[in-house]
Amino acid sequence: MQRQYAPVLFSLLLLAPFSCLAQQEPLKKVLSGYVREEGSSHVISEARIQLQNAMGTPIEFAYSDGNGTYEFDNIPGDCYVAVQHEGYVSVREFIRPDGSGHVYKDIFLRAVSGEPGSKPASPVSEHELSIPPKAKDLFEKGVQLVVDKSDYRGAVAQFERAIAKYPSYYEAYAAMGLAQNKIGDAAAAEAALRKSIELSAEKYPQAMIDLATMFNAGKRFSDSEPLLRKVIALDASSWRGQFELAVALSGMKRFSDALVSAAAARDLKPDNPQTYLLLYNLHIRTDDFPAALRDTESFLKLTPEGADADRVRKMQEQIQKAIQSAGGNPSPS
């Protein structure tokens, strides 16, 4: 492609949010976790999860996937999740985010008949059956310390106690790694996440994504890429895997490859504004200003207010001027 917009490339990149390339701070608060059966801890797939604001007004809904996981990438501060599945008693739980960008919350459903109604959906759920109840309790205490109090040091202590009760508890290692990263102990965090990956025989994508995200934040892009390739091989529907892979490839200046992954993340999760900022940067890098203009419009449709929206509007104005200067049409086709 001819670089007809090259003279203005640098200035446009300066206008783009840094987090889009380095991923040091998320733009939105993410809520994720598992839907499980009370008593057995079997994961439950295809449960319907409704996100509600603090007043109880529905905002968004999702379904748990084949591994029982769910995710909302833009929660409005304090909120509720209402979960229902045939054969189980519906529940509604209050969520109060901590100061981090990611809130973890497992939801437990009780079978209507009192008998276990779900079956393990994956090797992960088979593993869950062997976790001692005391270890699970300690793990949940650690999670609650993070969610309710942002007490990461206290959470690490609880996760360590859970691991002492059950040395193969790879979910606890992964959660401990995230808490250690929050208190600035990157070396310990990496070791814990690597241990989680090892114990799960590379079958726990959450740990691999979290470690890859750490690597991206530290500009260790070549370390991030192989982890994310494994995540996508395990779960082709992982938009986070595709998104972080695009960040890693962009960091290695493989912009055309990064575009493929960013587009896949967009197609898997079209309502995530952050993806359009990443696409914007990549389209600028590959000299496709009309596509970058469309990215700004897509972002503003999803996030029309706030500081990020103001910045994107300035970016949009600069792109329109660049297209006009090159003799093109400022409006996307």
Angle made by CA atoms 159, 31, 109, in degrees to the nearest 5:
75
Average pLDDT over residues 241-266: 95
Number of domains composing the chain: 1
What's the pLDDT at 99? 63
Task: Return the SS3 of 77.
Answer: coil
* Burial profile 84-98: b = 16 or more Cβ within 10 angstroms, e = fewer: ebeebeebeeebebb
How many other β-carbons are positioned within 10 Å of the β-carbon of residue 223?
16
Tokens of 285: 């890098």
What average pLDDT does range 108-130 have in this prediction? Answer: 61
Q: For residues 150 and 146, what is the distance between their CA atoms, to the nearest angstrom?
A: 4
* Range ranked top by mean pLDDT from 94-103, 134-143, 206-215, 318-327: 206-215
Average pLDDT over residues 253-264: 96
Q: Write out pLDDT tens, residues 192-234.
A: 999 999 999 998 888 999 999 999 999 999 999 999 999 999 8
Confidence at 5, pLDDT banded by 50, 70, 90: low
Residue 104 lies in a domain: no
Instruction: Of 72-76, 234-238, 318-322, give the range with the top mean pLDDT.
Output: 318-322
**Is the pTM above the cut of 0.75?**
no
Pairing state between β 30-37 and 69-72? antiparallel
Q: How many CA atoms lie within 13 A of 290 on its CB side?
A: 9
8-state DSSP, 89: E
Domain range for 184 is: 131-201
Q: Is residue 319 part of a domain?
A: no
What is residue 49's DSSP assignment? E
Structure tokens at 308: 């990020």
In a domain, 89, yes or no: no
d(CA 240, CA 52): 23
Q: For position 322, what pLDDT does the model report? A: 84
pLDDT at 126 over 90: no
The pLDDT of residue 162 is above 70: yes
User: Is residue 124 predicted with pLDDT exceeding 50?
Assistant: no
Q: How far apart are CA 33 and CA 106, in angstroms?
A: 5
Between CA 190 and CA 29 the distance in angstroms is 22
Rounded to whole angstroms, the Cα distance separating 80 from 234 reads 30
For residue 8, what are the contacts with CB-CB under 8 A and spacing of at least 6? Answer: 318, 321, 322, 325
Residue 316 lies in a domain: no
| Spatial CB neighbours of 152, under 8 Å, sequence gap ≥ 6 | 145, 146, 179, 180, 182, 183
| 144 found inside a domain | yes
- Residue 139 belongs to some domain of the structure: yes
160 located within any domain: yes
The pLDDT tens digits of the residues spanning 58-114 come to 788 888 887 888 988 888 888 889 898 888 888 888 887 766 667 888 899 988 865
Task: For the chain, give the mean pLDDT.
Answer: 83
Instruction: Write down the pLDDT at residue 123.
Output: 42
State the distance between the two ends of the chain, measured CA to CA, in whole angstroms. Answer: 18
Tell me how far CA of residue 217 lies from CA of 152, 182, 210, 211, 248, in angstroms: 19, 13, 11, 10, 10
Average of pLDDT values for 148-166?
Answer: 92
CATH number at residue 137: 1.25.40.10
Enter the DSSP assignment of 54. Answer: T
* pLDDT recorded at residue 28: 65
Q: Model confidence at 155, in pLDDT bands (50, 70, 90)?
A: very high
In a domain, 71, yes or no: no
Digit-coded pLDDT (tens) for 18-53:
344 434 344 568 888 889 888 877 888 888 898 887
Cα–Cα nearest to 224, from 201, 237, 203, 240: 240
